[in-house]
Homo-oligomer: A and B are copies of this chain.
Amino acid sequence: MEKKALDEESILKIKQQVVEKLRNIGETILDQINKGENPYLEIPIRHLSNVKFNKEKRILELGSALSKRYYLDVGAVRKFVQTLAVAAISKQLIEEKTHAHLRDIFYMLKKTLPNTNIDLVYEQTESDKAIEDLELITSFSREQLNIGADKRGVVAGEVVIEDNNDIIDWSKMGSGGWSIPSNTEELVFKKVDADFVLVMEKNDLWERLNEDKVWKKLHCIIMGTQGQATRGTRRLLQRLNSEYNLPVYVLTDFDPWGIYIYSVIKFGSINLAHESERLALPQAKFVGLRYDDISRYNLKKHIIKFKDVDFSRLDQISNYDWFKNNKEWQEELNKMKNLAGKVELNALAANGIKFISERYIPEKIKEGEFLD
């Protein structure tokens, strides 16, 4: 797991490896054609049947099942050509030091094939799948292929990075913070002066902790995900964890939705199982609100009754392998079910607007009793 911090040189080297890999794919196909063979691509199967929870590594990952996708196969030819077309675009993007987003790639592929009335893709799901296939074939991530998606999230702390020749000091970002890009693969850390990372789903909480300079007082990095963490945010977290050994603590409401955000950061998500190695963070810990905090912090008044949708979400989460086989989590989730209600972190404001910064978080971190 442990890696050295990536410097400019190693980042550049990876980029060269990506281009080489893409060229290899093309050359292999050319070779097959020259030999008179039916060209094919070999692709790990992404179907749920091939997604497993690795109990040792504690992440969701793909099994080893492979499928061959042939050019001369009516059922496979579209996907074959789409995947190659994405590979060609990706290679060009990298060589031109340019990035594109999923939606752009869709439009770039949406072309009528010469001498036909057939489009290479009709829907974005087709180009998205071709991109995921290319990730699997190359073992490089979409970001390394210069293809991005959502941009959300914000960060502050005593960290200095270099990004596109700019030196950016996360401790001098005022009330706004640095906005996390969709691709954090090629940032270079110049200085990382922190003991841990605090992650939260809501930007209003991030603004609270930033105003109270929690990152300075507790010597940490604060990161807001604004709902589900993007791949850019998750990769940034993983890099801080693996390159600098920083523990990652996730702060959410006491409700199934918050716990799911934690779950994705920690274990990965089913449809990105092939990317878990690069995105999941098995060492992440939960410092969100817990059942016992309701009495401890006087929040009984602020319990919000569950709706049907909350009950069913809670049931789903309770049945995930990684929560099902964890006694502590089963207890916690059962307590939530019996309570039939949720509690928000904002409710701590009833004890004073700075209560969360000055009491809740320091206490939780000091006690170190995190749900895992």
- Footprint of B on A, CB under 8 Å? 93, 98-108, 110-112, 148-152, 154, 161-164, 166-168, 172-183, 187, 203-204, 206-208, 211, 224, 226, 301-302, 344, 346-350, 353-354
Nearest opposing residue in chain B for A150, CB measure: B203
Q: Which residues of B contact A203 (CB under 8 A)?
A: 150-152, 182
B102, B107, B166, B175: which contacts A350 (Cβ < 8 A)?
B107
Asked whether, in the complex, the Cβ of B346 is within 8 Å of the Cβ of A204, the reply is no
Interface centre among A93, A166, A174 (most CB of B within 10 A): A174
Closest B residue to A187 by CB, please name it: B174
Complex CA distance for A119 and B182, rounded to whole angstroms: 44
CB pairs A–B below 8 angstroms (11 shown)? A98-B353, A104-B346, A108-B350, A112-B301, A149-B204, A151-B203, A151-B207, A168-B173, A176-B179, A176-B180, A176-B181
A154 near B179 with CB under 8 A, answer yes
4 A-B pairs with least C-beta separation: A163-B174, A179-B179, A101-B204, A104-B349
Which residues of the other chain, B, contact A178 by a CB distance below 8 angstroms?
173, 176-179
CB-based contact A301/B110 at 8 Å: yes
Note all chain B residues with C-beta closer than 8 A to A99: 207, 211
Q: Which residues on B sit within 8 Å (CB–CB) of A104?
A: 204, 208, 346, 349, 353
- In the docked arrangement, what's the CA distance between A231 and B161, Å? 30
Q: Which residue of B lies closest to A301 (CB)?
A: B110
The quantity of this chain's copies bound in the complex is: 2
Question: Which residues in B have their C-beta under 8 angstroms from that of A354?
Answer: 98
Say how far A141's CB is from chain B's closest CB, in angstroms. 16
Quick one: closest B residue to A168, CB to CB?
Answer: B174
* List of B residues within 8 angstroms of A208 by Cβ: 100-101, 104
**Chain B residues with Cβ under 8 A from A348's Cβ?**
107
Nearest B-chain residue to A149, judged by Cβ: B204
Contact A207:B166 (CB < 8 A) given known A179-B178, A180-B176: no
Give the docked Cα–Cα distance between A176 and B167 (Å): 12
Smallest Cβ distance from A186 to chain B, in angstroms?
A: 9
Q: How far is the CB of A129 from chain B (nearest CB, A)?
A: 18
Distance between A194 CB and nearest chain B CB, rounded to angstroms: 18
Supplied contacts A107-B347, A148-B204, A179-B179, 10 more A-B pairs, CB within 8 Å: A98-B211, A104-B346, A104-B349, A107-B344, A110-B301, A111-B350, A150-B204, A161-B174, A163-B176, A168-B176
Give the nearest-CB partner of A226 in chain B: B152
How far apart sit A349 and B148, CA to CA, in the bound complex (Å)?
14
Q: Find chain B residues with CB under 8 A from A179 CB.
A: 154, 173, 176-179
CB neighbours (8 Å) of A152 from chain B are: 203, 226
Q: A164 to B150, alpha carbons, bound, how many Å?
A: 29
Contact of A181 among B93, B174, B301 (CB under 8 A): B174
Question: When the two chains form their complex, are residues A349 and B164 in contact, meaning their CB atoms are under 8 A apart?
Answer: no
Q: Are the CB atoms of B101 and A207 closer together than 8 Å? A: yes
Residues of chain B within 8 A (CB-CB) of A111 are 350
* A204 and B349 contact, CB distance less than 8 A: no
